[in-house]
Structure 1
Amino acid sequence: MSTDLFCEIVAGERPAHLVHSDDVAVSFLDARPVFKGHVLVVPRVHAETLADLGDVGPFFTRVQALARAVEEGLEADGTFVAMNNRISQSVPHLHVHVVPRHRKDGLRGFFWPRTRYDSAEEAASYAARVAAAL
C-alpha cells in the first residue's frame, strides 16, 4: 500500500480542513490555494493518475458536486476544475483542483499565484461554507 500526503489525510493521520468525505472520495482545502476556497478532491483509494483509478464515474460525480458547491457556497461566478497526471503533480496521488472563480479575478492561463489563509479559523470557515452547499 502506498502512503503519501493525501493517503495520510484520507486515513485521518494528517490534519486538513475537510469539506466532504465518503466511501469514494475525500475533499479538503488546498493548503496553498490559488484563491480562498480552493478544494482538492482525492479518491479514497490510492491512485497516482487518472488511468490508475479504474471506475472514474463515482469519483467524478463527487468532483461535479464539489464544483457546484464551491460556486454556491462561496458565491463564485464559476470554477476552474483541473487535474495533472504526473507532470506538475506535487503529490503522487490523483487529485482534482476545484478553484472558485470571479470575473476579473486576475487568473491568467496556467500561472497560478498562491495565497494563504489568515488563520486556521478562516480556512475552517471556507471549508464549512462549501460543505454546507453540498
Structure 2
Amino acid sequence: MADKTIFSRIIDGEIPGTFVYQDEHCVAIRDIQPAAPVHVMVIPRKPIPSIAHLEPEDHALAGHLLMVVKKVAQQEGLAERGYRVVINVGDEGGQTVPHLHVHVMGGRQLTGHGTA
C-alpha cells in the first residue's frame, strides 16, 4: 500500500487541519500557505491522486466536490464578489500533493490565469 498523503493524514486526524466543512464524501480545509485572503481546499475522502485518475464510478463524487465548492464560497463570503476555483494536475500543472483537491480562493481582486 502506498504511503498516505498529507491530506489523508489530515482527514484521518493524524495531523491537525482547520476544517471549514465536512461530510461523508469530502472535507474543506484552510490552506496553510494561502495565496489569497480566503484559500480553502475541498478534498475528497477517497484518495484519488488527481483529476486524471477519476473513474466512471467517481462521477457523483466529482459533481459533489463542485457543489461543496459553491457551498464553501457562500459560507466564506465569496459568492457575491467572485472567487477562483483551481484544480492542479500533475507536476507541470503545479500539483504538489498526489490527492485530488480543489482550491477555492478569493477575498481580493485576483489577476492573471491560474495564480492568485
> Normalising by the residue count of structure 1, what TM-score does the alignment of the two structures yield?
0.70
Structure 1 or 2: more helix by fraction = 1
Alpha carbons 1:37, 1:70 under 8 Å: kept: no
- Considering only aligned residues, what root-mean-square deviation do their CA atoms show, in Å? 2.1
The answer to whether the aligner puts 1:82 opposite 2:56 as a matched pair is: no
Q: Which residue of 2 aligns with 1:44?
A: 45
Distance in 2 (alpha carbons) for counterparts of 1:9 and 1:17: 9
Structure 2 unaligned regions, length at least 5 = none
Output aligned runs, 1:19-58, within 5 Å. Answer: 19-54=20-55, 55-58=58-61
Q: 1:75 to 1:49 in 2, by over 3 A?
A: closer
Structure 1 unaligned regions, length at least 5 = 113-134
Q: Which residue of 1 aligns with 2:97?
A: 91
| Percent identity (aligned) | 29
> Normalising by the residue count of structure 2, what TM-score does the alignment of the two structures yield?
0.79
Alpha carbons 2:78, 2:107 under 8 Å: kept: no
Distance in 1 (alpha carbons) for counterparts of 2:110 and 2:69: 22
Helix, strand or coil for the counterpart of 1:56?
Answer: helix
Alpha carbons 1:71, 1:78 under 8 Å: kept: no
Distance in 2 (alpha carbons) for counterparts of 1:70 and 1:45: 22
Letter in 2 for 1:94: L
CA deviation digits over 1:24-50, x for unaligned, max 9? 111101111111221101110111111
Distance in 1 (alpha carbons) for counterparts of 2:76 and 2:51: 27
Letter in 1 for 2:106: P
Q: 1:21 to 1:62 in 2, by over 3 A?
A: same
Helix, strand or coil for the counterpart of 1:86?
Answer: coil
Deviation at 1:72, TM superposition (A): 5.1
Alpha carbons 1:67, 1:81 under 8 Å: kept: no
